Chain A
Amino acid sequence: MTQVILLIMLFFWVLLIFYSILTISGVWYRMRFIKPPKLSSYPSVAVLIPAHNEGIVMEDTLRAMARLQYSGQLDIYVLDDNSKDDTAEIAQEFAEVFSRIHYIPVPVSSPSGKSRVLNYGLSISQSDYFVVYDADNEPEPDAVELLVEVAERTKKAAGAVGYVKTKNAHTNTLTRMIGLEFQVFQLLMQCGRWQFLKLGSLAGTNMLLRRSVLDELGGYDVNALAEDAELTVRLHTKGYLLPVVPESKTWEQEPEKLTTFIKQRTRWLTGNIYLLEKSFKDLSHWRGKTFFLSLQHVLTYLVFVVVLLFSDIFFIMSILGMELPNMEAPLLMLWFMSYIVYTAQLLSALVVDRNVSPKNVFFIFIMYFTYAQLFIILLLRSVTVYIWSRVRGNTIAWDKTKRFKGVG
């Protein structure tokens, strides 16, 4: 038993070093990033917005889309997936006024979800590149152009990924913590992985892809709940690159209620467990650069959760005055360093994003004990949902995240 725990501790140590290196690399990349020079000609781009009952946010989204500035041909497609609210009405109104905005009703079929809608969007549009935006996204005017410029100037690039910022970060404690998490894991870690390993990962929104690359890969996997993560692995297996463009920004709404948050993250985590299973079955996931993506998946969704569980158990045991197992490992120091690395990542993200404030600093000091611990509950829930659906032979239904009105 002691040796098993020791092995896990060593894994934990590797994870700490890995994340420390990513943090430093991420800060380095962000500080040195300069906007790319203009292109002599710009390829055509289709913006795909999958929408299912998005009436509450659609107006703001399309207002931002209409403000997009792009030096080439740009077409925006609202892919209405059987909405029952006023999504169609709003999108059609914009489509009547603006020549580049198109309203497309998507035929009903199975399985439901974003991947199927995106595949349909690709089948009805024509362009060199396409960009995906979630229906609650408000990209900054230069977001698409920056992605294209970087993708065109990076050899072997399948596209490019931008930065997703939280629009409603100041609404409550939960949204503030999500915003801080996004700053770290969506951007600082992305930049770090790109700088250190030349690995980028699709974020599901504000992501540009070359249409020919997706055709080569056979489109989106309609069974994948985390279609972005799944596609990222396939792209890297084929040797493509996904450069990270921190200056290309979109603003997104995050869940304001814990129940909505748990539902959304359960879907993400279930999608990642699906991917984990796929990586164990398919050996191509362990070749070349994809090795690091798969390794990170295993470390995060398998090893990390076990370590976190042990860490919590030991913490509770020590509070209750119980004797800890006699091991040749400095548990206290490891626990302390995991707190330091986690907090250092958050602080670094605040600094490079220039939003250091006393309130944000206070939150980053308590997030390890609060927000980070939610991960265990979420992962246990996701694993249960996943195993249960596998046992019963069901396909897990894709459910969209609930939107909220009046943010920004």
Chain B
Amino acid sequence: MTKNFVLTALILALLLNGWLVAYFAVPHYLELIAVGLLSLLFMSILSERYIFLYAITMILLYGAYLTVTSFGQSLPEGMQVHYMYSHLLFTSFHLIFWMLMNAVKKIGYQNSDLQHQVQLLQKYRQGSQVLTMTEFKDQAEWLLKSTARNGKESYFLKVELEYSKKRTKQNMQEMLEKAALQSIRQKYDLVSSDLGTIYFLLKDTHQEGADIVMERFRKKSQAELNFITPPYQFEQIHIKDAQQLHGLLGARS
């Protein structure tokens, strides 16, 4: 509510400022409007931290220009007063727009920040039961600690798609994710995915157990796909701790 009020007030102030420039036809008002419009463009494009620098530079430059003109033309006092009004309107225009940009960009940054926070809080990837990477890593830490304490083993499986046709790649990944979820022990092992890759973390198992899961996955995917050779690469690693897992997830993490 307050934000809406502030934004509305600033927009109205900006419009009023522009109207005053035109209505009173202050010295150089046409140039002033042209520079003002260009400033609107530049300040909208510039990064937040440089907007003020731009505004203050313009204010000082315009002041310098008016002073030099006053010197050059030996202006009478009455005209100098008009120059002062012109500068005040130019200054207020830039400062109001700076405040407006500040408020708008602040809302934009808050929005991105919130989106990031939501992503961190999301448990599953949109429209599936596959864990998000953040959740996968979090749950993996618990899982690996408990496996280590019980003196058992965990296995990490990585399935990397080797299929480049864009049109069907997304559906193929979804199908493989579904196959992965059907191949693991429910509420016991973990599955996550990233663009073109599917990750499994198998708890309290051994080499043979990992092979069984992989074989199950291969059969399920083959039943759905028309490929003689599976369109993916497969990797199986005995995992000891969370650090090793983070290393394997690498740049994707």
Residues of A at under 8 Å CB distance from B? Answer: 13, 16-17, 20, 23-24, 27-28, 31, 328-330, 332-334, 336-337, 340-341, 344, 347-348, 351-352
Segment at the A interface, from B52-60, B194-202, B207-215, B244-252: B52-60
Are A31 and B50 in touch, CB under 8 angstroms? yes
Name A24's contact: one of B53, B63, B71, B87 (CB within 8 Å). Answer: B53
For A23, the chain B residues whose CB sits under 8 A away are: 56, 60
Q: In the complex, how many angstroms separate the beta carbon of B84 from the nearest chain A beta carbon?
A: 5
Residues of B at under 8 Å CB distance from A? Answer: 49-50, 52-53, 56-57, 59-60, 63-64, 66-67, 70-71, 74-75, 77, 80-81, 83-84, 87, 91
Are A333 and B83 in touch, CB under 8 angstroms? yes
Closest to B53 in A: A27
For B84, the chain A residues whose CB sits under 8 A away are: 332-333, 336
Q: In the complex, how many angstroms separate the beta carbon of B10 from the nearest chain A beta carbon?
A: 14
Closest to B52 in A: A351
Q: How far is the CA of A28 from the CA of B50 in the complex (A)?
A: 8
Are B70 and A24 in touch, CB under 8 angstroms? no
Name B66's contact: one of A27, A333, A352 (CB within 8 Å). Answer: A333
**Beyond A332-B84, A336-B80, A344-B59, 14 extra complex contacts between A and B, CB < 8 Å:** A16-B64, A23-B60, A27-B53, A27-B56, A31-B53, A330-B74, A332-B77, A333-B67, A333-B70, A333-B75, A337-B64, A340-B59, A341-B63, A347-B56
Q: How far is the CA of A336 from the CA of B53 in the complex (A)?
A: 21
Q: In the complex, how many angstroms separate the beta carbon of A191 from the nearest chain B beta carbon?
A: 12
Are A20 and B80 in touch, CB under 8 angstroms? no
Would you list the 7 A-B pairs with minimal beta carbon distance, nearest first? Answer: A330-B70, A332-B80, A333-B70, A20-B60, A333-B80, A31-B49, A336-B84
Name B91's contact: one of A27, A334, A340 (CB within 8 Å). Answer: A340
Are B60 and A332 in touch, CB under 8 angstroms? no
Are A334 and B67 in touch, CB under 8 angstroms? yes
Q: How far is the CA of A197 from the CA of B2 in the complex (A)?
A: 44
Q: In the complex, how many angstroms separate the beta carbon of B91 from the nearest chain A beta carbon?
A: 7
For A28, the chain B residues whose CB sits under 8 A away are: 53
Q: List 21 A-B contacts (CB under 8 A).
A: A17-B64, A20-B60, A23-B60, A27-B52, A27-B53, A28-B53, A31-B49, A328-B74, A329-B71, A332-B80, A333-B67, A333-B80, A334-B67, A337-B63, A337-B64, A340-B60, A341-B60, A341-B63, A344-B60, A348-B52, A351-B52
Dominant SS at the B interface?
helix
Q: How far is the CA of A89 from the CA of B23 in the complex (A)?
A: 71
Q: How far is the CA of A348 from the CA of B57 in the complex (A)?
A: 11
Closest to A17 in B: B64
Q: How far is the CA of A336 from the CA of B87 in the complex (A)?
A: 10
Q: In the complex, how many angstroms separate the beta carbon of A137 from the nearest chain B beta carbon?
A: 29
Are A330 and B71 in touch, CB under 8 angstroms? yes
Q: How far is the CA of A352 from the CA of B91 in the complex (A)?
A: 18
Are B80 and A330 in touch, CB under 8 angstroms? yes
Given contacts A330-B70, A330-B75, A332-B81, contact A340 B57 (CB under 8 A): no
Are A348 and B66 in touch, CB under 8 angstroms? no
Q: How far is the CA of A16 from the CA of B53 in the complex (A)?
A: 18
Q: How far is the CA of A194 from the CA of B224 in the complex (A)?
A: 68
Q: In the complex, how many angstroms separate the beta carbon of A179 from the nearest chain B beta carbon?
A: 20
Given contacts A330-B80, A333-B80, A344-B59, contact A20 B64 (CB under 8 A): yes
Q: In the complex, how many angstroms separate the beta carbon of A34 from the nearest chain B beta carbon?
A: 12
For B53, the chain A residues whose CB sits under 8 A away are: 24, 27-28, 31
Q: In the complex, how many angstroms separate the beta carbon of B87 from the nearest chain A beta carbon?
A: 7
Q: In the complex, how many angstroms separate the beta carbon of B70 from the nearest chain A beta carbon?
A: 3
Given contacts A332-B81, A332-B84, A333-B84, contact A13 B67 (CB under 8 A): yes
Name B63's contact: one of A27, A328, A340 (CB within 8 Å). Answer: A340
Q: In the complex, how many angstroms separate the beta carbon of A59 from the nearest chain B beta carbon?
A: 39
Closest to A324 in B: B77
Given contacts A13-B67, A334-B67, contact A24 B49 (CB under 8 A): no
Q: How far is the CA of A347 from the CA of B95 in the complex (A)?
A: 10
Q: How far is the CA of A348 from the CA of B94 in the complex (A)?
A: 13
Q: How far is the CA of A219 from the CA of B71 in the complex (A)?
A: 48
For A330, the chain B residues whose CB sits under 8 A away are: 67, 70-71, 74-75, 80
For A334, the chain B residues whose CB sits under 8 A away are: 67
Closest to A21 in B: B60
Closest to B73 in A: A330
For A27, the chain B residues whose CB sits under 8 A away are: 52-53, 56
Closest to A327 in B: B74
Task: Indicate the member of B49, B60, B71, B77 with the most A CB atoms within 10 Å.
Answer: B60
For B83, the chain A residues whose CB sits under 8 A away are: 333
For B87, the chain A residues whose CB sits under 8 A away are: 336, 340
For B67, the chain A residues whose CB sits under 8 A away are: 13, 16, 330, 333-334, 337
For A340, the chain B residues whose CB sits under 8 A away are: 59-60, 63, 87, 91
Q: How far is the CA of A23 from the CA of B59 in the complex (A)?
A: 12
